[in-house]
Structure 1
Amino acid sequence: MSRFSRRQGCLIILGLIFLLILASSTVSTTAVVAGRNVNRFESTALADVPILNYHKIDTFYHALSIPPQEFEEQIAYLSLNGYTTITPDDLMAYFNHDKELPEKPILITFDDGYLDNYTNAYPILKKYGFTATIFIVTDLVGHDERFMTWDQIRQMQQDGFVFGSHTVSHIALTNLPRNQAMDELVNSRKEIERQLGTKVRYFAYPTGAYNQQVEEMVKQAGYRAAFTIRYGQAGIDSNPYALERIPIFRGQQTFRSFFIRLNGAPVLERFGLIRN
């Protein structure tokens, strides 16, 4: 398929999804979810898993800031439509054929470790019985009032939340010399392990920047997988050190955008418009 025809196909598919939404009387948390890929128990192929990517849950007018009310609307939608949150360990065990997942698994992630993840997102997620994985910048924890403290992080950990590394200082690793990049990877992992008393296996690339050399350093630093900001679902054919996510942004129609991005990913993958 040519680049032009792929773009046309993408627009057509997104247009159809948009029309599907408009055909409903209202777009609400009771909307019917679009079909998923074939279930692993009906096929030898493993189903892809959506991984949501958030940053801030607050009222600031910024693309990365989702208002708490709208965040709860999204979480309520996932709950009403039968989704169950999983951990990165669950995901990797699933892809290694060692573990079964719930019928509709979803991994919810946050980058940076902002204070509002604790004050705003945490109560909402607990209300619906959900957990999340949060990638933290260790030099900012407890040292910047905009970010969480270690005591807050430990409280969330006790409720099943998982914490991974987002480096020491949130510098794009592709811009650093190798030794400095390794320090960012290793020292952040060690600090989280020291503070939380648990093995840190997962990493998210600051600013989403990575290349093959950075991927190799992430492996050498002891991580089991790493997360990007590339749009798509994680599948058995995904690179475990470049896992796709579904970034969620604020907009004039935030829930509609969330609905389209969540339900559009499997459709676009089926047509080879993303990941391939």
Structure 2
Amino acid sequence: MLTLTCVALPTNSWAQDNAVILLYHHVSNDTPNSTSVTPEVFAQHMQYLADNHQVLDLKTVVEKLQNKQPLPDKTVVITFDDGYTNIYQNAHPILKKFNFPYTIFINPALIGGADYQLDWQQITEMGKEGVTFANHGNAHIHSLAKLANESQQAWLTRVTDNVTSAEKLLKQKLGYSLKYFAYPYGEFNHLIQQKLTSLGYVGFGQQSGAIASYSDFSALPRYPAAGIYSRLDPLKVKLNSLAMPVSNISPTIAELDLSTDKLNFSFQVNDKDINPAQINCFKSGNKLEHNNHDGKISMHLNNMRKAGRHRVNCTAPSKSYGNRYYWYSKPFFVPTAAGEWLD
């Protein structure tokens, strides 16, 4: 039985209003490196969590943060996207060993359709052992892609139906509906966010960062922990990170068009545990020059016309918690010249 053990910390401490969500896809030795972690490395990750963190289920964490209720310090949630069979074969036995709850975001219409996908029998078995399942859309689509001659309203209706039809099927198969949706490829824009929020969904992206009660619940960040991000030492820093409180983000949009090559990006940080002068921002591994005016962080982003997914990651050390960093990530999505979206 999993128990909640709260660490004695100051009332309303940042650490108790905070959690980290990890994102995995494959746990295998013979799947694409960019989205895979080997079973051996995955076991190392889980051992580190067992020794240093409190692993809780996604629903508990989301609801406590939404209700501004305290969490144990160093709370971590484990999630997977896409519902691959190797999760059942390789990850699940390890997670059972540690008695860790976790969530898999699946495409319910695709379940059992190929030998690399979980089937409903496996999902039922895993569900009896504490695994929860949530929505990744009926089809694994680029939600920002429009069909030929498709109007904006028709596009929004189509991508919304992809979510709501999947949620209906999940409810039929599982008997519950979490209304948690992980954006395929981590792609979203403000119209999708607004629509899903109006329907009662919580959204999950693939940008980095911790989460808190003040986070944007239409696109909560998760730390990828596979491929180049699977090394344990750098992952430890992320697992111990804190959600950076930001406001007045400009631009608020995430989807860019091909006319955007240079972009002025800014946000406000006003928090007594953060010294704005210590904020550092990076894009594609390169440190960005930025200005700080009374906690307003502003910078110029170049080469934004390049197709794909761009992320600006900003960090700052905590004054109160030694060796822990606040983290904020802003994603931007850019199509190709032909209007296509890269996998």
Kindly name which structure, 1 or 2, has the bigger radius of gyration based on alpha carbons.
2
The 5 Å alignment of 1:179-194 reads: 179-194=157-172
The 5 Å alignment of 1:11-22 reads: none
Opposite residue 79 of structure 2, the aligned amino acid is T
> 3-state DSSP class of the match of 2:140?
coil
Deviation at residue 219 of structure 1 after TM alignment: 2.4
CA shift digits 1:24-58 (9 cap, x unpaired)? xxxxxxxxxxxxxx977533655220110111100
Higher share of residues assigned helix: 1
The answer as to 2:34 corresponding to 1:63 is yes
Percent sequence identity over aligned pairs: 28
What is the CA–CA distance in structure 2 between the aligned matches of 1:239 and 1:39, rounded to whole Å?
A: 27
What is the CA–CA distance in structure 2 between the aligned matches of 1:245 and 1:80, rounded to whole Å?
A: 21
What is the CA–CA distance in structure 1 between the aligned matches of 2:18 and 2:70, rounded to whole Å?
A: 13
Residue 178 of structure 1 is aligned with which of 134, 140, 156? 156
What is the CA–CA distance in structure 1 between the aligned matches of 2:130 and 2:70, rounded to whole Å?
A: 19
> 3-state DSSP class of the match of 1:230?
coil
What is the CA–CA distance in structure 1 between the aligned matches of 2:65 and 2:10, rounded to whole Å?
A: 13
What is the CA–CA distance in structure 2 between the aligned matches of 1:227 and 1:262, rounded to whole Å?
A: 17
Residue 120 of structure 2 is aligned with which of 147, 150, 173? 150
What is the CA–CA distance in structure 1 between the aligned matches of 2:143 and 2:237, rounded to whole Å?
A: 31
- Deviation above 6 Å: which 4+ runs of structure 1? none
List runs of 5+ in structure 2 lacking aligned partners: 1-6, 147-154, 245-314, 319-324, 331-343
The 5 Å alignment of 1:1-276 reads: 42-43=11-12, 46-60=16-30, 62-81=33-52, 83-97=53-67, 99-176=69-146, 177-223=155-201, 225-251=202-228, 254-263=231-240, 268=315, 270=318, 274-275=328-329
Higher relative contact order (CA 8 A, sep 6+): 1
Instruction: Decide which moves more: 92-101 or 202-211.
Output: 92-101
What is the CA–CA distance in structure 2 between the aligned matches of 1:194 and 1:80, rounded to whole Å?
A: 38
Q: Summarize the Cα distance change of 1:252–1:209 in structure 2 as closer, same or farther, 3 Å threshold.
A: closer
Opposite residue 226 of structure 1, the aligned amino acid is G
Deviation at residue 140 of structure 1 after TM alignment: 1.7
What is the CA–CA distance in structure 2 between the aligned matches of 1:113 and 1:182, rounded to whole Å?
A: 21
Deviation at residue 247 of structure 1 after TM alignment: 0.9
List runs of 5+ in structure 1 lacking aligned partners: 1-37
Deviation at residue 125 of structure 1 after TM alignment: 0.4
> 3-state DSSP class of the match of 2:144?
helix
8 A Cα contact 1:186 1:221, kept in partner: no
Opposite residue 243 of structure 1, the aligned amino acid is L
Opposite residue 262 of structure 1, the aligned amino acid is L
What is the CA–CA distance in structure 2 between the aligned matches of 1:200 and 1:186, rounded to whole Å?
A: 12
Deviation at residue 178 of structure 1 after TM alignment: 1.5
Q: How many corresponding residue pairs?
A: 237
8 A Cα contact 1:52 1:107, kept in partner: yes
Task: Tell me how large the CA RMSD over aligned residues is.
Answer: 2.5
Residue number in structure 2 paired with 1:8: none
> 3-state DSSP class of the match of 2:222?
strand
Deviation at residue 172 of structure 1 after TM alignment: 1.8
Deviation at residue 266 of structure 1 after TM alignment: 6.2
What is the CA–CA distance in structure 2 between the aligned matches of 1:252 and 1:178, rounded to whole Å?
A: 33
Q: TM-score, normalised by structure 2?
A: 0.63
Opposite residue 127 of structure 2, the aligned amino acid is Q
CA shift digits 1:52-110 (9 cap, x unpaired)? 011110002511110001100110111011x2222232122212346543343211110
What is the CA–CA distance in structure 2 between the aligned matches of 1:232 and 1:273, rounded to whole Å?
A: 5
CA shift digits 1:168-210 (9 cap, x unpaired)? 1110222241121121011110111100111232110000100
